[in-house]
Structure 1
Amino acid sequence: MTTPGFRPTHVVPQHGMPAWESPDPARPTVALDPLLPVQLVERRGDWAHVLCANGWSAWVDGRFLIAVPQDPPATGGPQARTADPRPLLARAEQTLAHYRTAVEELAGGGLDGESFRVRTRGLRIGIVVDGESVWLYDTERGRWVYGDGKRVGTYAADDGPHAAAADPGHAPTQVVTPDGP
């Protein structure tokens, strides 16, 4: 269940990151998953207190969080590249169904822990729905896209703007600030 008012401000790096109960290295907790959208709540030097969509919070090394724009690209104006969001949604559904099947088999005793890890290795999904807005992680192109229900446009790429621009399937990364791109 998503915490009311949750709006991601950052994403965990693609390899995940360690987390702590408080800004104290002696109090580690469960690591954060790769590409998890989080909301920055507080900063104390390099420490960052983040909130996850499910209401869980932790302290992390804020220097490694990947910022996402506060405001996605305006849906009324032209985006760098538009695409139908349905293929990305279908891939997300397929990935989630594959993971759900593996969880059911694990819970039912049909898989052991190692078999579960093998079956789920390489699965990756990222999706945040906020009313009419959706943020989807496109695993094939290594990018986050924003959509308004009719079209999507790239707003952050794993490899940065230079690598994204070199790939004709990528639109260049565009970071949007309150003052514009």
Structure 2
Amino acid sequence: MELLLHPVRLRIVHALSGGRSLSTQQLCERISDASKATVYRHVALLVDAGILEESGQQRVRGFVERHYRLVPARAAVSAQRAASATLDEHRQAFAAAMAALLAEYQSYLDDPAADPVRDQVGYRQHAVWLTDAERDALIEGMRAAIVPHLGHGPGEGRTQHLLSPILFPVERHEG
């Protein structure tokens, strides 16, 4: 879990999701706000940890260019590990996720073709009052809506989107 709690490493995982295989150069282009050395270093860390694996090589201008893909079972934090995380680890995970989200959104906006209206970009917050049972039903409904789409990989007419549902109580009902 600790290894994935870094914004650049999270962005590498996002870039390789959906069964994609990308070269380190392609990752550098995707994460252009980080230096090449930074991206290469984080790719190496993820490979050493078994989260990424080499998926191929090709010669480009006399150099060997390696392509990488996610090792699916290793690229996710298990529910069991999340449940055993300390409050400080949850703080670190949330901060890393928000930093990665902010960097991904900034990268989107930096693209001259960015059009938040056309792309139906959304970043709304809704305060909802829920019993525990209503909260559980909401989460189950969100899962039912999202999970069928998680297996979609890159393909004709598909654009990768980042969906980041966040739910936490802002008040506690006692009793």
Return the TM-score normalized by structure 2. Answer: 0.27
Q: Quick check: which one's helix share is greater? A: 2
Q: Which has the larger radius of gyration?
A: 2
TM-score w.r.t. the length of structure 1 is 0.26
Q: Which has the higher strand share?
A: 1
Could you say which structure has the greater relative contact order, defined with CA pairs below 8 angstroms and 6 or more residues apart? 2
